[in-house]
């Protein structure tokens, strides 16, 4: 009912899409859930049972609270509803507690919070221009975008099978973007500041926001060629933006500042000891780096350049989330990944300050993808956001399809139980086939070259080898990490290629003095 109300004025098709995906989420309730289910149950218990002064110190469970304060308060509010379902889930010492009522509450809490995501998608679709077919203007781009966002494969399996609360967080980001396009800059800045205090991983997008707001809001006039007039800078607007950020931060961090606990909070928010690659499945640049180190170490052993006694056994393939040292290549520190990420992000963000920017939607995309590709603890793929680019230009649609197909496949190792195998394969096939066919029809041209087509088709044989061949070979015992390794490295190639392609397109398109309608 909420979805129908939100969708009013957009068309019956939006209501049907929102309601349909909600029903699908309900069907996924009995499926496998990961340790993240216990993580959030424990956070419910911590925030409900303990005073605020102990939230970021509690360590009975290994799954300690490591999200910003707004998310902690979100769990606190949820806990006061959870107590009517099963009071036992709110006991801090009830580790790995999972009753049927606990399962229903946590699953439905994710589904309910997706109302914000549905509303944000609706608002974003308002910012997308229709497409002319003859003399008529159709809503085809809006319909395609709605499907790509609401029925996003990655969001479905990560939130509603694996178990997380990404939906409403993505909703905050999308709603913030929509407000910027509606010239409601203060609202957009406020929503983004709130988002940062729900999940700090979005700090990677902050430079893009800062540059865009500086250029489009703090400078009040442009030259005829579209570049900014330096004498039009408004200090009042800068102060207003700063005040918004300060007040949100004060509301979030103020209680912990008063308790003298900010260092403890920050130590939880940035746990670099979790390791570089999250047990090898994170398909980013560092997976390629690690694979190269493995190859060089094998060659070094064969040629007797390396001492086998000095090489840690399975240091990066043990399946654990941990720190490790590389064998041949220099080991990667958190500072090194931070520098790589910031250089890549700031280069393209600051390069857009003076020339007319090629559209704000592309800069958060590139910031998210850069942080994913070079960050120290790679987040789950935030591929939903790239859907905003896919209905605008054929070139961006091509990048989106390569990225989303490869990135979504890289999520397969998250669902490793047999009952979920047909679910993840079927859902991904349906989403991928629809994405490729709808965007190809929208732009009326092929979206891949022969090399890209060959690469994407290679995902099929890779899946057959990992899921149906490898388990019946003798390598399963000797090399249990091999499917994860192959998936990680193969997908890292496609994601790094998509990042490079998007990076180049942002830097060269459009040329100075020529803006494009967004």
The pLDDT assigned to 402 comes to 93
Residues 280, 483 contacting (CB under 8 angstroms): no
Residues 497, 449 contacting (CB under 8 angstroms): no
- Tell which residue, 109, 112, 113, has the closest CA to residue 168: 113
In a domain, 75, yes or no: no
What's the total number of domains in the chain?
A: 1
Instruction: Compute the distance between CA of residue 283 and CA of residue 459 in angstroms, rounded to an integer.
Output: 14
The pLDDT assigned to 312 comes to 58
Instruction: Compute the distance between CA of residue 207 and CA of residue 219 in angstroms, rounded to an integer.
Output: 17
- Tell which residue, 436, 425, 493, has the closest CA to residue 460: 425
Enter the pTM of the model: 0.87
In a domain, 308, yes or no: yes
**Exposed, middle or buried, 95 (CB in 10 Å: 0-12/13-18/19+)?**
middle
**DSSP per residue over 351-370, as a string?**
TTSSSPPS-TTHHHHHHHHH
**Non-local CB neighbours of 53 within 8 Å, separated by 6+ positions:** 259, 261
Q: Mean pLDDT in runs of 10 for the chain (518 residues)?
A: 42 90 96 93 96 95 94 97 95 93 97 96 84 58 93 93 93 92 92 95 84 84 64 88 96 95 91 54 77 81 70 51 65 71 65 52 69 59 73 89 91 87 94 95 90 96 92 82 87 89 72 41
Instruction: Compute the distance between CA of residue 273 and CA of residue 518 in angstroms, rounded to an integer.
Output: 41
In a domain, 288, yes or no: yes
The pLDDT assigned to 83 comes to 95
Cis upstream peptide for 108 (omega within 30°) = no
In a domain, 322, yes or no: yes
Domain range for 325 is 277-331
In a domain, 283, yes or no: yes
Residues 506, 404 contacting (CB under 8 angstroms): no
Instruction: Please count the other Cβ atoms lying within 10 Å of the Cβ belonging to residue 183.
Output: 10
- Tell which residue, 211, 220, 210, has the closest CA to residue 242: 210
- Indicate the helix (H) or strand (E) that contains 131: strand 131-133
In a domain, 144, yes or no: no
HSE of 276 in the Cβ direction (CA atoms, 13 Å)? Answer: 24
The residue length of the chain stands at: 518
In a domain, 295, yes or no: yes
Instruction: Please count the other Cβ atoms lying within 10 Å of the Cβ belonging to residue 88.
Output: 13
In a domain, 326, yes or no: yes
Instruction: Please count the other Cβ atoms lying within 10 Å of the Cβ belonging to residue 325.
Output: 12
The pLDDT assigned to 226 comes to 58
- The distance from CA 24 to its chain's CA centroid, rounded to whole angstroms, is 21
């Amino acid at each position: 009912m909420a979805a129908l109300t939100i969708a009013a004025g957009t068309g019956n098709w939006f209501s049907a899409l929102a309601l349909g995906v909600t029903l699908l989420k309900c069907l996924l309730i009995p499926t496998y859930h990961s340790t993240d289910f216990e993580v959030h149950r424990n956070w419910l218990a911590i925030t409900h049972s303990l005073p605020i002064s102990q939230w970021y110190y509690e360590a009975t469970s290994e799954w300690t609270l490591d999200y910003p304060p707004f998310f902690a308060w979100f769990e606190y509010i949820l806990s006061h509803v959870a107590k009517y379902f099963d009071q036992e889930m709110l006991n801090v010492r009830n580790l790995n507690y999972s009753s049927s009522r606990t399962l229903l509450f946590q699953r439905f809490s994710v589904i309910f919070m997706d109302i914000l995501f549905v509303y944000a998608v609706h608002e974003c679709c308002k910012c997308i221009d229709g497409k002319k077919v003859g003399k008529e203007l159709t809503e085809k781009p809006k319909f395609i975008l709605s499907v790509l966002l609401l029925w996003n494969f990655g969001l479905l399996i990560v939130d509603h099978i694996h178990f997380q609360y990404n939906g409403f967080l993505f909703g905050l980001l999308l709603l913030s973007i929509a407000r910027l396009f509606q010239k409601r800059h203060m609202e957009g800045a406020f929503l983004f500041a709130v988002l940062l205090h729900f999940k700090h991983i979005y700090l990677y997008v902050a430079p893009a926001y800062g540059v865009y707001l500086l250029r489009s809001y703090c400078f009040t006039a442009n030259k005829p060629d579209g570049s900014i007039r330096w004498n039009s800078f408004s200090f009042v607007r800068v102060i207003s933006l700063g005040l918004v950020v300060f007040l949100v931060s004060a509301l979030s961090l103020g209680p912990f500042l008063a308790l003298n606990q900010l260092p403890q909070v920050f130590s939880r928010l940035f746990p670099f000891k979790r390791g570089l690659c999250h047990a090898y499945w994170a398909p980013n640049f560092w997976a390629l780096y690690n694979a190269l180190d493995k190859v060089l170490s094998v060659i070094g052993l064969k040629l007797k350049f390396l001492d086998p006694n000095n090489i840690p056994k399975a240091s990066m393939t043990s399946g654990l989330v941990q720190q490790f040292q590389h064998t041949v290549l220099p080991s990667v520190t958190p500072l090194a990944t931070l520098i790589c990420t910031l250089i890549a992000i700031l280069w393209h963000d600051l390069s857009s300050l003076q020339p007319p920017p090629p559209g704000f939607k592309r800069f958060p995309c590139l910031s998210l993808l850069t942080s994913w590709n070079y960050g120290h603890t790679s987040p789950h793929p935030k591929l939903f956001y790239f859907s905003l680019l896919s209905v605008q230009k054929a070139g961006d649609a091509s990048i989106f399809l390569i990225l989303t197909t490869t990135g979504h496949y890289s999520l397969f190792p998250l669902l490793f139980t047999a009952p979920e195998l047909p679910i993840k394969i079927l859902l991904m096939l349906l989403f991928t086939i629809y994405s490729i066919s709808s965007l190809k029809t929208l732009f009326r041209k092929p979206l891949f070259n022969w090399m890209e087509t060959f690469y994407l088709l290679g995902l099929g044989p890779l899946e057959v080898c990992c899921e149906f061949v490898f388990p019946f070979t003798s390598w399963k015992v000797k090399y249990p990490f091999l499917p994860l390794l192959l998936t990680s490295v193969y997908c890292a190639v496609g994601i790094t290629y998509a990042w490079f392609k998007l990076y180049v397109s942002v830097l060269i398109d459009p040329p100075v003095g020529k803006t494009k309608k967004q």
